[in-house]
Amino acid sequence: MRLSMNALMSIRGFVRAANRAGFWIVLAGAVAALAACGTLAAADQPHWGTPWTRNMVSAEKNLPDGFQAGKRNTETGEIELPPDSGVRWTARLGGQAYGTPIVAGGRVLVGTNNEQPRDPKYEGDRGVLMCFDEKTGEYLWQLNLPKFTKVKWADWHYVGISSPPVVEGRKAYLVSNRAEVLCIDMDGMANGNDGPFTDEARLFAGEGKPPVELGPHDADILWRFDMPERLSVEPHNAANCAVLIDGDLMYICTSHGVEWTHKYVVTPTAPTLIVLDKRNGRLLARDDFGIGPDIVHGQWSSPAMGIVGGKKQLCLGAGNGRVYAFAPLDPALIPAEAPPAPEGSMPDGEIPRLKNLWQFNGQPLAQTQDDVPMDHQHDTTSYIVTAVPVYHNDRVYVPITQEVFHNLKLGWLVCLDAAGQGNITRTGLKWSYETIAGSVSTVAIADGLLYAAGFDGKLHCLDAETGRVHWVHHCGKPIWASPLVADGKVYLGTGSQTFWILRHGKQLEVIQRIRMPSGVYCTATAANGTLFIAAQKNLFAVGK
């Protein structure tokens, strides 16, 4: 059973109480607490990566050693499978999919676009989150949102919704293609339009259009926080963040970036990270990183959290090539009740700031130079962080690289001392690995081995303690997904229409290379004995 950090804290409290109140009484309370935390469904995968270290490993067993992906029928969009393919079901997505599948409560949520419309009332390029039945693949409902056009190139063509949701109970939380933080009902509109937000008909239609007629296959938004409207956030190309939830707190990277010419940041004071009350979307705090105008391109990483020195610590990779660690929000700033969230913007000076703990400047020149200028142009040599940092054994592992989307190829994977303080640029680097080159993939660490994927199509296996190389395998480029370690295997998809299954270990062993009907840009998800793979146009549920 995988337990969340909140559940573990609840267990510790019940253990202490057991010494005073008697075992069986407390046991009943413990079971109730676990149910409230949503942890009894132990084999679900309701969040991106391991909570909340973001390590790309899973405790799932009995996962497939191989399968046959079949062929896609170009007329229907459906997958035609051979006998004994190992695929339990497939489902049609849009034309591109960048949202890693999330599996919880009998549902599978996947971000995609609207190139293959499920509903004729939604036409053209839009952001979509589809919901399927976990066992059968039956299509249940969709969140279908118009493009975000107020900021030029903030919502790139056909990218759709790329943020994987996080699910707690019957609610899912995500960042939309419009840079909104949304709380949605896992049952969609099938059980009615719950509030407090009830204006889905107008929101789904888009500006200047009459409200759409809502049906049971539409999403039900419970509350909505509009980051561009409330905080002057301007994403570049895409709004992308896997929300981190700790108790009632939500930590979200805003995706604030440069304007469309890549020359400057329109609002340097806009936050890079915010904290919301998950109960109602109320703004509670923001970062104090002071990034200002020093954003190279966009900010597409997500926050991670670990226990360092017995205390919670969070960190985020930023668009200026730095990794920032900070303390959780002071509990004194969290309302005991959940008052209605105010409308309108809050003056920046009135937003409480999070406490910084340390920062690492990932520009390689910063190892010897005190002043490393930042550049915003398409051919910039400045470094950014797109991958998500991973906490493991009081260390943080993350690739910091040049912008791969502009075909720049340099980068390094760094291992940092998470127990440091202040500026750890020259004191906190445990080891580095420059052969990774450009990378947007998050690492996976298991049994002392670290797996890291480069955008150039290579998968690297290193010693997590020292950075020593065990092997490098050419998988095919590009690699946008992150490697997943589960059941003694490493799973990884590529944009070259291949999906790899390798043996987890110090010796390179390919178990199977699968030809996919379209590229795989999402990380595979293991849940309830099934491997879920979102290719560009179809979702696969694969068993053993």
Q: Is the pLDDT of residue 260 over 50?
A: yes
Q: Is the pLDDT of residue 430 over 50?
A: yes
CA–CA distance, 539 with 485 (Å, rounded to integer): 20
Average pLDDT of the segment spanning 8-35: 36
Residue 378 pLDDT level (bands cut at 50, 70, 90) = confident
Kind plus residue range of the DSSP H or E element containing 275: strand 273-277
Q: What is the pLDDT of residue 336?
A: 74
339-369 residue pLDDT tens: 666 666 666 677 899 999 999 999 999 999 9
CATH architecture of residue range(s) 41-332+348-542: 7 Propeller (2.130)
What percent of the chain clears pLDDT 90, i.e. is strictly above it?
84
CA–CA distance, 180 with 202 (Å, rounded to integer): 15
Average pLDDT of the segment spanning 64-71: 98
Q: Measuring CA to CA, how many Å separate 10 from each of 7, 39, 194, 231?
A: 5, 12, 30, 35
Q: What is the pLDDT of residue 342?
A: 64
Average pLDDT of the segment spanning 411-421: 98
Q: What is the pLDDT of residue 348?
A: 66
Average pLDDT of the segment spanning 292-311: 96
315-339 residue pLDDT tens: 999 999 999 999 999 988 777 776 6
Residue 409 pLDDT level (bands cut at 50, 70, 90) = confident
Q: Report which of residues 273 and 18 the model is more confident about.
A: 273
Q: What are phi and psi of 11, to 5 degrees?
A: -60, -45
CA–CA distance, 206 with 145 (Å, rounded to integer): 8
Residue 2 pLDDT level (bands cut at 50, 70, 90) = very low
Q: Residue ranges of the domains in the chain?
A: 1-40, 41-332+348-542
Residue 22 pLDDT level (bands cut at 50, 70, 90) = very low
CA–CA distance, 334 with 88 (Å, rounded to integer): 45
Q: Report which of residues 37 and 261 the model is more confident about.
A: 261
Q: Is the pLDDT of residue 24 over 80?
A: no
Tokens of 271: 């936050």
Most confident region among 8-17, 20-29, 370-379 by mean pLDDT? 370-379
Q: Report which of residues 39 and 396 the model is more confident about.
A: 396
Q: In 10 A of CB 366, how many CB atoms?
A: 18
Average pLDDT of the segment spanning 428-448: 97
User: What is the number of helices (H) and of strands (E) in the chain?
Assistant: 4, 37
Average pLDDT of the segment spanning 173-193: 98
Q: What is the pTM of this model?
A: 0.91
Q: Report which of residues 407 and 62 the model is more confident about.
A: 62
201-254 residue pLDDT tens: 999 999 999 999 999 999 999 999 999 999 999 999 999 999 999 999 999 999
Average pLDDT of the segment spanning 130-156: 97
Kind plus residue range of the DSSP H or E element containing 99: strand 99-104
| Per-residue three-class SS string for 21-74 | HCHHHHHHHHHHHHHHHCCCCCCCECCCCCCCCCCCEECCCCCCCCCCCCEECC
Q: Report which of residues 270 and 35 the model is more confident about.
A: 270
Q: Read off the amino acid at residue 337.
A: E
Residue 17 pLDDT level (bands cut at 50, 70, 90) = very low
Question: Is the previous residue joined to 216 through a cis bond, with omega within 30 degrees of 0?
Answer: no
- Judging by DSSP bridges, how do beta strands 422-423 and 356-361 pair with one another? parallel
Q: What is the pLDDT of residue 6?
A: 39
485-531 residue pLDDT tens: 999 999 999 999 999 999 999 999 999 999 999 999 999 999 999 99
Tokens of 189: 């509109």
CA–CA distance, 478 with 456 (Å, rounded to integer): 6
For residue 442, give every residue at least 6 positions away whose Cβ sits within 8 Å of its Cβ, in sequence order, or none.
Answer: 49, 54, 56, 387, 388, 390, 398, 482, 523
Q: How high does pLDDT run on average in the chain?
A: 91
Q: Report which of residues 21 and 310 the model is more confident about.
A: 310
- Judging by DSSP bridges, how do beta strands 166-168 and 171-175 pair with one another? antiparallel
Residue 26 pLDDT level (bands cut at 50, 70, 90) = very low
